[in-house]
């Protein structure tokens, strides 16, 4: 297979992530998977929209949400998307160190986002907005929690990818992994933009 | 590392371990077939008990609660654990061969998909042994399936079993889409794809875009049941109608996920056994795409009596009726494929031809159901039961039988016995119509569906009796099919490459069964019906698109099995509130994912000299 | 063809009878069911045409083009035919238009809301596992299992479920509408002919779903007025004081007669004049007293999963059961 030839002499093609058929399959398959993820989040959004006014005895969205903190989380996540773009650019230039650096920054930003989110959830529970309070609270935690779980998964995944790049170097096998995890990271960013709009901004408006 | 690439010694297994670790699509297809047939027999047995209970008024073979368990498990098993796996069996066995590929795009995921399906189905069916069986219908409408009115573990088995099996289905969908997009042989453009490949492509797309909705619905109902969430708890602001929407947003495309592959099989079978090119190929492709597209915007026709209001009911009525147009196009295309042909009545073709009028009958009752005001009368009666059995059994199961008889020599290298095959067809066909034709009238006369019994003297007695006799006849047909498998198993593996002599697509150019790498040389495709075209031009083989060389194969792996087992364990942990067990199960699964991610799979190579020896699958 | 055998059997059964007059959708007893049957007939007609065309082509093709023994000829490979393909696209579209127009007309026609109509009788239907409650909101009366309606007015239903989802269906009078917990649905029906019609639950609601029947009795306007007056009259309690006390303590905690009792079980006012006990034990067969006696003794024997405790669990002696059954059987309304 041509894959091995590239790896052995260190001559990576410009887009090492698309050098082998298996890599191209992986990238295509991952896009299809994201199609499925879109439907998954779409359904979660639909359920949330159907139930968001049924707050029972709990606090309303307007009482609950603190936009400055959520806005900060949004900016952090958007920035992390940008740093993952830098990582892929570094990948195309075959700059392994820069790439790993940007990936680490991405992870750190992801972790701080998660930290803010966990803090936020603690606050809400404290204010009587528990998972079991109402249909609104259940659908809120499920939607936002699903996203949070995706971020956490992404952090673990990118860490593993960094480990592999450091161990095995930048090859036609590791390059697609970097590339695909970056696509994933953008996806969860886009989902967050929708959450910010549909859950938080619309929650504030009413 | 690559200098030694060809020297990788990959551990290759024999016997049982070979089957547990295989990533070969042909073997996975056989695994799907065995598991699918096994669940088909379980679902069939459940059907027989249902029909025995309904044979006469106020019968007491099973009580109301057991009956509800039977109908729930019959529906769920037949759709998710029998029909879909049997389709996956044919997909796996045939698609890579039809597109001239050596395997699917993701052999590892293919194996993972099988094992998650298998363990999901196993978990669901273990509910019989646990004594708490799902009993809220395959649609699991809440609140009947919710924690307040269904406090046992029954519905948990449904939710978690389907969730695990659903992962496998989704992986399969992604895998086959990617395979068909990326792995086609040189020259095999989309508009040259065999019809079966086309329908599997569209079905895979439907799976990818419909199954996640079910995933979310199952998560929500699981959270309600296990963690006291309120998605569907009316008292706390939840909505039962929301579940209906989510379920049918998945559920209606699911119907097309099931039937489109049958359309594909019928197209292949009818065309082969009439020795004619499929009539109106491009309109068939277009009709398939259109049906899939419309299939996503008609879900609420399952909810005409839910109270969505006249505007929604009117729109969904019309949208549903429109599906009849592309479906009609298909029916007439098949008839005109046969027209002027030279029709050979093999068992496969009998099922293929039997499909056409049967499916038309199921289709026209579908249009009748689409008319909302009339549906107020049909809805949730035996008329609906008759309708969906006409499309699912008369459509899909006939299609699967046709496909199994047709591709059997390709899968196993043995022909099925034609005499027994014909007995299978006629008993199953007559039994089918006996069972379900009268059910239309039962519904019209006022018999609701899902009733465990009925009072005497309502005009239901005779037709129910006829229906039960028919069910037994279908049972005889199924047993005949199994006998056929066992009897022919003793026969030598001597099927020719082009087993029916009139094969048209690439799978008939390679030995039966194919070697594990399928094609020694990837063929060059020069037109639609690639193999037929070569034969008509007097060629005895395809033109190769590459020289003979070393063939790269993926290594077998036990990880998919262990990952699925992890999910299976985690499922039980969640159900019985043992979060440690659940955590352990998830750790097993995620751990295997990490291993898979960290350890590169280099696969192994089959050298030309070994190819000559003929490495059999 | 042998396939035609069951088909013919079905047709013969169909022609010999369109089912019971009080149950079958093919034998409509009111304008709503008639409209629906008209639509069904239209669609069956169109669809029968399609089926016949396909069957004829199919049978012709199979006979005409079957392969003769040893035939090696290769038929002409036809790609398609645009004229034919346009024909079988356009004709179905036309057929669907013919069906589509009356569909839309009736969707809106049958959705008319009579809840504000002074001339309509307002009935709130509450479905329970496994019985039906009918509240006449304008008259302030409640009954169960047997809906009494006048022949001269439209009946406007408000439908809701108390526990799980059920579906309210009187096939001979009109199509069904679901009762959803927490959501109110509306529909109307008309009962121009006097008679008793069978009603059913059409949505799986638990083990006794099959037995969740009710009756709809259409009576003359004057009879309906008398019934309303009788329902409003003071409750008739058992004559024997001891039985009356037992009845009050053991039965009226859930059931009600007249102004007395609770509402978590079927209202028993005038239960002696109903067609059935529990919706399924027909009084013209065994007699109302016997049926009541059987039911009170062991309700689960007749309706699995019924919420009512057996006589034993309810600490009723055999004599008390007999007395209560006798009292209830004699509690008839004159209308």
pLDDT classification of B161: cutoffs 50, 70, 90? very high
Interface test with A, best of B212, B232, B593 (most A CBs within 10 A): B212
CATH fold of B2-557+601-613 reads Cytochrome C Oxidase; Chain A (1.20.210)
Kindly state whether B554 is in contact with chain A, defined as any CB-CB distance less than 8 angstroms.
Answer: no
Q: What is the pLDDT of residue B3?
A: 36
- Record: contact B174-A36, CB cut-off 8 A: yes
- B324 interface with C at CB cutoff 8 Å: yes
pLDDT in tens, C126-158: 999 999 999 999 999 999 999 999 999 999 999
Chain C contacts in chain B segment 377-396 (CB below 8 A): 377, 379-381
d(CA B50, CA C210): 14
Q: Contact, B322 vs C90, CB < 8 A? A: no
| B310 interaction partners in chain C (CB closer than 8 Å) | 107-108, 111
Q: Are C174 and C112 in contact (CB under 8 A)?
A: no
pLDDT, tens only, C276-334: 999 999 999 889 999 999 999 999 999 988 899 999 999 999 999 999 999 999 999 99
Chain C: touching chains (3 or more CB pairs < 8 Å): B
What residues have CB less than 8 Å from C324, skipping those under 6 apart? C238, C243, C246, C247, C251, C292, C296, C316
Where residue C8 falls among pLDDT bands split at 50, 70, 90? low
CA angle B241, B245, B249 (to 5 degrees): 170
Q: What 3-state DSSP class applies to B206?
A: helix
Least CB-CB distance to C43: which of B64, B374, B458? B374
Does the distance separating the beta carbons of B305 and C207 come in below 8 Å? no
CA B57 centroid distance within chain: 35
Q: Nearest 5°: CA angle at B212, between B211 and B217?
A: 100
Q: b/e per residue, C42-60, with b = 16+ CB within 10 A?
A: bbbebbeebbebbbebbee
Q: Do C10 and B345 touch (CB under 8 A)?
A: no
For B13-32, b where at least 16 C-beta lie within 10 A, e where not — what string?
Answer: eeeeeebbbbbbbbbbbbbb
> What per-residue confidence (pLDDT) applies to A15?
84
Question: What percent of chain C shows pLDDT beyond 90?
Answer: 87
- B518 — alpha (psi -120 to 50), left (phi > 0) or beta? left
- Entry pTM: 0.94
Has residue C200 got a pLDDT over 90? yes
Confidence of residue C9 (pLDDT cuts 50, 70, 90): low
pLDDT band at B13 (very low <50, low <70, confident <90, very high): confident
Interchain contact, C13 vs B68, CB within 8 Å: no
- Closest residue in B to C104 (Cα–Cα): B314
> Given this model, what pLDDT does residue A7 score?
43
Cβ atoms of B454 and C210 within 8 Å: the answer is: yes
Q: Does B216 touch chain A (CB under 8 A)?
A: yes
Question: Which residues contact residue B246 at a Cβ distance below 8 angstroms, ignoring those fewer than 6 apart?
Answer: A43, A46, A47, B213, B214, B216, B217, B220
- Asked if pLDDT for residue B63 goes beyond 80, the answer is yes
Q: Would you state the pLDDT for residue C13? A: 54
Task: Say whether B329 and C25 touch across the interface (CB within 8 A).
Answer: no
CB contact under 8 A, B380 and C26: no
Average pLDDT over residues B33-45: 97
Rounded to whole angstroms, how far apart are CA atoms B448 and C130? 15
Residue A47, chain B, CB below 8 Å: the answer is yes
Whether B444 sits inside 8 A of C19 (CB atoms) is yes
Q: What is the pLDDT of residue C3?
A: 56
Q: Which CATH fold would you assign to the domain A15-205?
A: 1.20.120
| Residue among B406, B408, B401 nearest B491 (CA) | B408
- Judge whether B278 is closer than 8 Å to chain A, CB to CB: no
* 3-class DSSP assignment, residue C260: strand
Which of residues 116 through 135 in chain A touch B, CB cutoff 8 A?
A: 131-135
Cα(B467)–Cα(B53) distance, rounded to whole angstroms? 12
Residue in C155, C151, C156, C165 with CA at minimum distance from that of residue C205: C165
What pLDDT score does C7 carry?
60
- Are the beta carbons of C270 and C282 closer than 8 angstroms? no
Across residues B475-491, what is the average pLDDT? 95
pLDDT given at position B448: 97
Answer for the pair B133, B182: CB distance below 8 angstroms, yes or no: no
CB contact under 8 A, B356 and C58: yes
Which residues of B322-410 form beta strands (DSSP E)?
A: none
User: How do residues B515-555 score in pLDDT, each as one tens digit?
Assistant: 999 999 999 999 999 999 999 999 999 999 999 999 999 99
Contact B216 A36 (CB under 8 A): no
Answer for the pair B100, B523: CB distance below 8 angstroms, yes or no.
yes
C-alpha span between B120 and B104 (Å, rounded): 23
Under 8 Å between Cβ of C167 and C201: yes
Asked if A138 lies within 8 A of B178 by C-beta distance, the reply is no
Alpha carbon of A133: minimum distance to chain B alpha carbons (Å):
8
Q: What is the pLDDT of residue C69?
A: 86
Q: Testing the interface with B: which of C11, C73, C104, C107 to mutate, by most B Cβ within 10 A?
A: C107
Query: CB of B144 within 8 Å of any CB in chain C?
Result: yes
Residues of chain A with pLDDT under 70: 1-10
Mutate which: B149, B152, B377, B441, vs C, most C CBs within 10 A: B377
% residues pLDDT > 70 (chain B): 97
B 149-178 residues inside an 8 A Cβ radius of A:
170, 173-175, 177-178
Distance from CA of A90 to the nearest CA of B (A): 22
pLDDT of residue B601: 81
Closest chain C residue by Cα to residue B374: C36
Contact (CB<8Å) C178/B68: no
Residues B59, B453 contacting (CB under 8 angstroms)? yes
Closest CB from A51, A173, A177 relative to B231: A51
Angle at B510 between CA B507 and CA B513, to 5 degrees: 90
Chains A and B: how many Cβ contacts under 8 Å?
A: 130
Please give the Cα distance from C316 to B418 (Å, whole number). 69
pLDDT score for B569: 97
Q: Is C17 helix (H, G, I), strand (E, B) or coil?
A: coil
Rounded CA gap, B396 and B87, in Å? 9
Q: What's the rounded Cα separation, in Å, for the pair A104 and A199?
A: 29
Among residues B202, B175, B172, B185, the alpha carbon closest in space to that of B267 is found at B202
Please name the residue that has the structure tokens 């509408």.
C177
Give the model confidence (pLDDT) of B215-256 as tens digits: 999 999 999 999 999 999 999 999 999 999 999 999 999 999
Strand, coil or helix: B445: coil
Rg (CA), chain B: 24
Is the pLDDT at B8 greater than 90? The verdict is no
Shortest alpha-carbon distance between residue A117 and chain B (Å): 20
CATH 2.60.40.420 boundaries in chain C = 121-227, 241-330
Contacts of B142 in chain A (CB under 8 A): none
Residues 74-133, chain B, touching C (beta carbon < 8 A): none
Domain C241-330 belongs in CATH node 1.10.10.10: no
Whether residues C20 and B283 touch (CB distance < 8 A) is answered with no
| A 171-190: CB under 8 A from B | 173, 177
Closest residue to B5, CB basis, from A4, A55, A164 = A4
Bridge partners for B448 per DSSP: B381
Q: In this complex, do C92 and B324 lie within 8 Å of one another by their Cβ atoms? A: yes
Min distance A94 CA to chain B CA atoms (Å) = 20
Q: For C98-119, how does the pLDDT look when each residue is reduced to its tens digit (9 = 90+)? A: 999 999 999 999 999 999 999 9
Is residue B315 less than 8 Å (CB to CB) from chain C? Answer: no
Q: Could you tell me the pLDDT band of residue C5, with boundaries at 50, 70 and 90?
A: low
Superfamily, domain C121-227? Cupredoxins -  blue copper proteins (2.60.40.420)
Instruction: Say if the Cβ atoms of C13 and B368 lie within 8 Å.
Output: no
**What pLDDT, on the 0 to 100 scale, is given for residue B142?**
93
Give the model's pLDDT for residue B316.
Answer: 96
Nearest by CB to B212, which of A36, A56, A132? A36
| Gap from B264 CA to chain A (nearest CA, Å) | 23
Q: What is the pLDDT of residue A80?
A: 96
Q: Does residue A45 sit at the B interface (CB-CB below 8 Å)?
A: no
Residue B597 has pLDDT above 90, yes or no: no
ipTM computed for the complex: 0.93
């Amino acid at each position: 297979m041509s894959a091995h030839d590239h790896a052995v002499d260190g001559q990576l093609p410009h887009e090492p992530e698309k050098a082998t058929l298996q890599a191209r399959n992986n990238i295509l398959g991952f896009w299809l998977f994201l199609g499925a993820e879109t439907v998954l989040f779409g359904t979660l959004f639909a359920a949330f929209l159907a139930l968001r006014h049924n707050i029972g005895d709990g606090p309303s969205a307007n009482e609950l949400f603190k936009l400055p903190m959520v806005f900060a989380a949004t900016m952090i996540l958007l920035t992390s998307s940008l740093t993952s773009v830098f990582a892929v650019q570094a990948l195309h230039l075959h700059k392994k160190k820069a790439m790993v650096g940007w990936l680490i920054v991405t992870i750190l930003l992801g972790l701080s986002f998660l930290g803010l989110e966990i803090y936020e959830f603690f606050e809400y529970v404290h204010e009587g907005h528990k998972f079991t309070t109402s249909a609104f609270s259940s659908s809120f935690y499920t939607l936002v929690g699903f996203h949070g779980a995706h971020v956490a998964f992404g952090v673990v995944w990118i860490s593993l990818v960094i480990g592999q790049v450091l161990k095995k170097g930048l090859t036609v096998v590791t390059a697609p992994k970097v590339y695909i995890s970056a696509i994933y990271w953008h996806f969860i960013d886009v989902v967050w933009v929708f959450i910010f709009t549909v859950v938080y901004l619309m929650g504030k408006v009413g | 590392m690559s200098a030694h690439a060809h020297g990788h010694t990959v551990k290759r297994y024999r016997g049982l371990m070979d089957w547990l670790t295989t990533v070969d699509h042909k073997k996975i297809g056989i695994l799907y077939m065995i598991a699918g047939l096994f669940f088909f027999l379980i679902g069939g047995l459940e059907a027989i008990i249902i029909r025995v209970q309904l044979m006469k008024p106020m019968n007491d073979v099973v009580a109301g609660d057991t009956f509800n368990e039977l109908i729930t498990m019959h529906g769920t098993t037949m759709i998710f654990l029998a029909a879909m796996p049997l389709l996956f069996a044919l997909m796996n066995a045939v698609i890579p061969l039809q597109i001239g590929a050596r395997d699917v795009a993701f052999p590892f995921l293919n194996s993972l998909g099988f094992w998650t399906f298998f363990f999901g189905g196993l978990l669901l069916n273990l509910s019989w042994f646990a004594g708490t069986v799902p009993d809220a219908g395959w649609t699991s409408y809440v609140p009947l399936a919710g924690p307040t009115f269904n406090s046992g573990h029954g519905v948990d088995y449904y939710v978690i079993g389907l969730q695990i099996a659903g992962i496998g289905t989704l992986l399969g969908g992604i895998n086959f889409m990617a395979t068909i997009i990326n792995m086609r042989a040189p020259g095999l453009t989309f508009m040259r794809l065999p019809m079966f490949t086309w329908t599997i492509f569209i079905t895979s797309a439907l799976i990818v875009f419909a199954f996640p909705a079910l995933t979310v619905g199952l998560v929500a109902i699981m959270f309600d049941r296990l963690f006291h969430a309120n998605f569907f708890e009316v008292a706390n602001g939840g909505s039962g109608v929301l579940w209906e929407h989510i379920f049918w947003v998945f559920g209606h495309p699911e119907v097309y996920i099931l039937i489109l592959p049958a359309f594909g099989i019928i197209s292949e079978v009818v065309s082969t056994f009439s020795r004619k090119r499929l009539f109106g190929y491009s309109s068939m492709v277009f009709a398939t795409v259109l049906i899939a597209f419309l299939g996503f915007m008609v879900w609420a026709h399952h909810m005409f009596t839910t109270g969505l209001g006249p505007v929604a009911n009117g729109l969904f009525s019309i949208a549903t009726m429109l599906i009849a147009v592309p479906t009609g196009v298909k029916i007439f295309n098949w008839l005109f494929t046969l027209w002027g042909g030279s029709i050979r009545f093999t068992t496969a073709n009998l099922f293929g031809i039997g499909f056409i009028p049967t499916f038309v009958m199921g289709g026209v009752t579908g249009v009748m159901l689409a008319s909302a005001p009339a549906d107020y009368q049909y809805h949730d009666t035996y008329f609906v039961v008759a309708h969906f059995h006409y499309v699912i059994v008369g459509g899909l199961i006939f299609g699967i039988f046709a496909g199994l008889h047709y591709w059997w020599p390709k899968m196993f290298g043995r022909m099925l016995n034609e005499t027994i095959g014909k007995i299978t067809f006629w008993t199953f066909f007559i039994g089918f119509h006996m069972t379900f034709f009268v059910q239309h009238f039962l519904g019209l006369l006022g018999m609701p569906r899902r009733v465990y019994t009925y009072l005497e003297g309502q005009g239901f007695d005779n037709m129910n009796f006829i229906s039960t006799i028919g069910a037994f006849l279908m049972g005889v047909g199924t047993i005949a099919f199994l006998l056929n498998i066992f009897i022919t198993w003793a026969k030598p593996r001597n099927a020719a490459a082009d087993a029916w002599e009139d094969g048209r697509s690439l799978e008939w150019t390679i030995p039966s069964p194919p070697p594990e790498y399928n094609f020694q040389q990837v063929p060059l495709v020069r037109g639609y019906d690639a193999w037929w075209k070569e034969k008509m031009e007097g060629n005895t083989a395809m033109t190769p698109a590459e020289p003979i060389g070393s063939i790269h194969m993926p290594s077998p792996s036990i990880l998919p099995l262990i990952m699925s087992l992890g999910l299976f364990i985690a499922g039980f942990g969640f159900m019985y509130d043992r979060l440690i067990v659940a955590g352990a199960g998830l750790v097993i699964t995620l751990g295997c994912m990490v291993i898979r991610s960290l350890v590169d799979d280099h696969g192994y190579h089959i050298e030309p000299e070994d190819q000559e020896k003929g490495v059999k699958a | 063809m042998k396939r035609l055998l069951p088909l013919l059997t079905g047709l013969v059964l169909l022609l010999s009878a369109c089912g019971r007059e009080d149950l079958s959708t093919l034998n409509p007893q009111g304008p709503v069911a008639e409209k629906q049957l008209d639509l069904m007939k239209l669609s069956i007609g169109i669809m029968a045409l399609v089926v016949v065309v396909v069957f004829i082509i199919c049978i012709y093709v199979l006979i005409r083009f079957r392969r003769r023994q040893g035939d090696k000829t290769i038929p002409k490979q036809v790609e398609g035919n645009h004229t034919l393909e346009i024909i079988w696209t356009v004709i179905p579209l036309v057929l669907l238009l013919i069906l589509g127009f009356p569909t839309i007309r009736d969707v809106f026609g049958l959705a008319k809301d009579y809840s504000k109509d002074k001339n309509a009788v307002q009935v709130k239907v509450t479905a329970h596992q496994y019985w039906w409650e009918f509240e006449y909101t304008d008259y302030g009366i409640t009954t169960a299992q047997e809906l009494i309606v006048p022949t001269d007015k439209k009946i406007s239903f408000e439908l809701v479920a108390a526990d799980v989802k059920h579906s309210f269906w009187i096939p001979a009078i009109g199509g069904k509408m679901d009762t959803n917990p927490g959501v109110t649905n509306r529909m109307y029906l008309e009962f121009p002919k006097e008679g008793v019609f069978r009603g059913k639950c059409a949505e799986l609601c638990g083990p006794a779903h099959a037995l969740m029947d009710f009756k709809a009795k259409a009576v003359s306007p004057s009879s309906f007025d008398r019934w309303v007056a009788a329902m409003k009259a003071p409750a008739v309690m058992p004559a024997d004081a001891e039985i009356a006390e037992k009845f009050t303590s053991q039965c009226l905690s859930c059931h009600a007669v007249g102004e007395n009792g609770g509402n978590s079980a079927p209202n028993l006012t005038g239960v002696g004049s109903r067609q059935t006990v529990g919706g399924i034990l027909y009084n013209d067969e065994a007699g109302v007293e016997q049926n009541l006696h059987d039911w009170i003794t062991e309700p689960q024997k007749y309706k699995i999963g019924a919420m009512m405790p057996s006589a034993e669990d309810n600490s009723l002696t055999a004599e008390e059961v007999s007395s209560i059954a006798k009292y209830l059987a004699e509690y008839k309304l004159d209308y």
